[in-house]
Amino acid sequence: MNASGILGSRPEALERLARAGSAALVTKSFTREPRSGYPTPIAVPIPQGLLNAVGLSNPGLEALPGLLERIRGLGKPVIVSIAGSTPEEFAEIAAAAEEAGAAAVELNLSCPHARGRGLEIGMDPVAVREVAGAAASTVTIPVLAKLGVVDRLVEVAGKALEAGARGLVLINTIRAMAIDVYAMKPVLGHGVGGLSGPAIHPVAVRAVYEVYREYRTDIIGVGGVEDWRTAAEMILAGARAVQVGTAVITRGETVISEIVQGLQKYLQEVGATSIQDVVGAAHKN
């Protein structure tokens, strides 16, 4: 599936992802009120991947029902990414997403550049437990906690699961920045942003591996997935599904079907009948 924030804000873009073979569709993060986001540039390619600081720009909850109504006929489950600053706010947005027709909600607990939201919540095990618990006790659809790279990731993941999260999304972009040496200022309008793409893939694989080893829970792996091999690494580490972000931007949404076809061939080569046969297989060897 696509990673949150990648072609996830307009019906036309989500239709393109559905045609490309995405098994599920993920919206960009919705907040209660509209957010205009950060000043441009908001995304800059660098040799290591992509830097972005969008600032959680979105039209707010009022626009969510219309978006889901427009894509209802695609026949794909829709995961609504949500972001808030308090447990009560997360619960309110989760309830609105369920009412609008979401198949699941993804709690954005890992945005690296939104003050008072995202990673500032996700690095605190107590806060993660409170947010996940508030959302899970409010809705009947699955709640997925999207976590970033923090010092106590395994502990934080455990708190989300204890509170009722049905699964985890690992990882988000990594806090980073680049400076234009001639302009002598950061290349992003916000200064600090998040790094995505190939550079963070080994970090994401490690995160999936360590969390799966501890909890054997459902995990969606994300971070530097750009072909069938990097997708397979995530699955072998313990992911049951993968999200693709930067590769969709750099190569187009057809990369999704290329990954699916490559994985099908890989399963034949290793004698597996389904993805389930190799989920977490790296822990058995």
Catalytic positions are 111
Q: 91 among the known binding-site residues? A: no
Q: 25 among the known binding-site residues? A: no
Six-digit token string for 5: 């924030």
Q: 140 among the known binding-site residues? A: no
Q: 4 among the known binding-site residues? A: yes
Give how far the C-alpha of residue 193 lies from the chain's centroid of Cα atoms, to the nearest Å.
Answer: 16
The closest alpha carbon to 238, from 216, 259, 222, belongs to: 216
How many Å apart are CA 129 and CA 135, to the nearest integer? Answer: 10
Q: 56 among the known binding-site residues? A: yes
Q: 217 among the known binding-site residues? A: no
Q: Side chain identity at 241, as an amino acid letter?
A: A
Check if the beta carbon of residue 194 is closer than 8 Å to that of residue 51. Answer: yes
Q: 223 among the known binding-site residues? A: yes
How many Å apart are CA 192 and CA 79, to the nearest integer? Answer: 27
The closest alpha carbon to 240, from 285, 277, 201, belongs to: 277
Q: 52 among the known binding-site residues? A: yes
Q: 58 among the known binding-site residues? A: no
- DSSP category for residue 213: H
Check if the beta carbon of residue 170 is closer than 8 Å to that of residue 207. Answer: yes
Element (H, E) at 186: strand 185-186
Question: Which of 234-261 are b and which e, b meaning 16 or more Cβ less than 10 Å from the residue's Cβ?
Answer: bbbbbbbbbbbbbbbbeeebebbebbee
Q: 196 among the known binding-site residues? A: no
Q: Which residues contact 100 (CB under 8 A, 6 or more apart)?
A: 64, 65, 68, 69, 80
Check if the beta carbon of residue 197 is closer than 8 Å to that of residue 44. Answer: no
Q: 53 among the known binding-site residues? A: yes
Q: 246 among the known binding-site residues? A: yes
**Binding-site residue positions for FMN:** 4, 28-29, 108, 146, 171, 197, 223-224, 245-246
**Binding-site residue positions for substrate:** 28, 52-56, 108, 172-173
**Binding-site residue positions:** 4, 28-29, 52-56, 108, 146, 171-173, 197, 223-224, 245-246
